[in-house]
Structure 1
Amino acid sequence: MSRDSINDLTVFLAVAREQSFTRAAAKLGVSPSALSHSMRLLEERLGVRLLTRTTRRVSVTDAGERLLHSIEPHFDGIDTALAALTELRDKPAGTVRITAGEHPTTSILWPAIERLLPEYPDIKFEITVDGALTDIVAERYDAGIRLGEQLNGDMIAVRIGPEMRMVVVGSPDYFARHPKPSTPQDLTAHACINIRLPTYGGYLVWEFEKDGREVRVRVDGPLAFNTTQMVMRAALGGVGLAYLFEDHARDEIESGRLATVLDDWNPLFDGYFLYYPSRRQMSPAFSVLVDALRYRPSRSDH
């Protein structure tokens, strides 16, 4: 294969992935007009149209989709092989892209990266904080972080945290004005602070379990947020009850600023896992992060 063909295929991959000549050009460090010219030459040489261009976006045709699926694994393999050469350096290098929700980013991912940065100055970490269930393959992430119950079976999963628990919390001021609920059904009579799920668009359903009985409650109240930080702040302000990860609210619970209710209805469940495609060959930089995140139970966990 000629060098020009390889360059043209590289251009096609960038445009197909970014769905934009402008973004692809910025990524490759060339002008959009140069990319457009390369694509015209490639399509003329192959005798098929690979891209459909509109004023707003660029999408691949059926022929383009077929070509993309055929060549993408090979180019990914080349990228991985080049990244693996960093083993010959004194320190691993390269960029690691991770997508994770707000809670695991602050409680697990950032503390690990903060420890790694001084030791591995040639590794760059790109973190997208997003609660949506992102397709890491389509979005070109190295890995993502999810709760164990949300993992797909075709992914390699590495446990990065202990079992967890949700708790219902309210401020002393709120409970001075309202009786504490004794069953999950009692929550329907309370002002509850909802959180909107980014993937499905609806509100989070509060889930409970006791003696093998599962109860799901759709709560209502004056406020809803898409971030747990604001849910916490509203609960501290006495606005209503909140449904939070226990470790997220632990400091406020221990200080007495928040009190828990329905504790016997909140069992432990699988915590967070780092997940990535099973066919992926780990680069040295990615291996460093995986090892740093891998959960190692301490005696206090048992």
Structure 2
Amino acid sequence: MNDSKQFNDLYAFVQVAKLGSFTQAAMALNVQPSALSHRMNDLEKRLKVKLLNRTTRSVSTTEAGQQLLERTAPMFNIIQQELHALSDYTDKMSGKIRINTPERPAFELIYPKINHFLVENPELELEVFINNRYCDIVAERFDFGVRSGQDVAQDMVAVRISKENTMTVVAAPRYINQFGMPKTLKELMYHRCIVNSFNPEYRLSEWEFIEKKQLTKIRVRESVVFNALVLVKQAVQDGLGIAWLPRTTVEKEIASGQLIEFFTDMNITYPPMHLYYAKNKHKTPAMLGLIELLRWKNEDKV
């Protein structure tokens, strides 16, 4: 049996089975419905098993046909994906890039830079998936992940994309006028606090500070909880409580007086954010361009 004919007929069978119609499948394959029907008859004879149930109105798979469809259709999908991916090897900024990132880097570090990058490279497809949970970017087929440098696995290549992340405690003047300003870290435990939740199992209600050169942790009351940083920021601006946020997230509001920060001499600073990817990852021109676009340009500054 000619292998190419067998392959072509299997592909035609997948189209018929998926579309449930000889007419629609024939249109997709650019052949005549009668010719396609004869090819399916020949395929069934060669395999010595009935694959399709035919009526005057519809076509459906037999049990054997369904098994063949479920096993072969994914293979054809993979082949099509790989053929499509070959465009990534050209010099053009094209192809698809998938990034897994927490919320803050997506808003503060990635989107402000990719905005113009996408306009300049219209053939590039970009997927930014906001996810505050840790994930295996290789298993989940992401090209890049974004995490704090201390959280990137050693078998990954990490590229710094931000300055160091300093946290700060802030509240709106409205809240301070109503409830007063805490004078010591321990007083935070008696205030209404707005807490960020990374996932249902982990809430950021243990705030960290550097007090007398020692790490101090204060567990605050979870008066309001959001799993989106943008809502935490909005709630603190609305005077609903005190929040512990990255300073870069609220620096404009602090400068304008919309928010007041305190305990600044005890702010803790965490490592910079990094874009990371697998060491053996093939990097297309578009991926290389994105790496350089996001790379921290002042690496000897914080």
The normalised TM-score by structure 2 is: 0.71
The alignment's C-alpha RMSD in Å is: 3.6
After superposition, the Cα gap between the structure-2 partners of 1:79 and 1:39, relative to the gap in structure 1 and judged at 3 Å, is: farther
Q: Which residue of 2 aligns with 1:242?
A: 243
8 Å Cα contact 1:83/1:283 also seen in 2: no
Deviation, structure 1 residue 248:
0.7
Listed one character per residue, the Cα deviations across residues 212-254 of structure 1 (whole Å, up to 9, x for unaligned) are 3111222114211111111111111211100111011011111
CA contact (8 A) 2:99 2:127 kept: yes
Matched, 1:167 2:168: yes
Partner of 1:258: 259
What's the offset of the Cα at 1:185? 2.1
CA distance in 2, matches of 1:7, 1:158: 47
* Cα 1:142/1:259, change in 2 over 3 Å: same
Kept in 2, the 8 Å contact 1:83–1:284? The answer is: no
Q: Which runs of 5+ in 2 are unaligned?
A: 11-17, 19-27, 30-59
Task: State how far apart, in whole Å, the 2-side matches of 1:296 and 1:112 are.
Answer: 13
What pairs with 1:1-302 in structure 2 (closer than 5 Å)? 40-41=67-68, 82-87=86-91, 91-198=92-199, 200-297=201-298, 301=301
Deviation per residue, 1:143-170 (Å, 9 max, x gap): 1111222212221110011112111000
183-192 or 153-162: bigger deviation: 183-192
In structure 1, list runs of 5 or more residues that go unmatched. 9-20, 22-28, 44-49, 51-70
- How many residues align? The count is 252
- Larger deviation, residues 157-166 vs 123-132: 123-132
* DSSP 3-state at the match of 1:197: strand
Contact residue 165 and residue 269 of structure 1 kept, 8 A: yes
Which letter does structure 1 place at the counterpart of 2:90?
T
| 1:285 alignment partner, SS class | helix
Q: Is the 8 A contact 2:132 2:199 kept in 1?
A: yes
User: 1:203 deviation in Å?
Assistant: 3.9
Q: What is the match of residue 14 of structure 1? A: none
- Secondary structure of the residue aligned to 1:222 is strand
Structure having the larger proportion of residues in strand = 2
The letter of the residue matching 2:290 is L
Q: Is the 8 A contact 1:207 1:217 kept in 2?
A: yes
CA distance in 2, matches of 1:243, 1:7: 62
Given the two structures, how large is their TM-score scaled by the length of structure 1?
A: 0.71
Q: Which runs of 4+ in 1 moved over 4 A?
A: 2-8, 36-39, 77-81
- Given the superposition, is the C-alpha separation of residues 189 and 290 from structure 1 closer, same or farther in structure 2, using an over 3 Å criterion? same
Contact (CA 8 Å) 2:205, 2:222: kept in 1 or not?
no
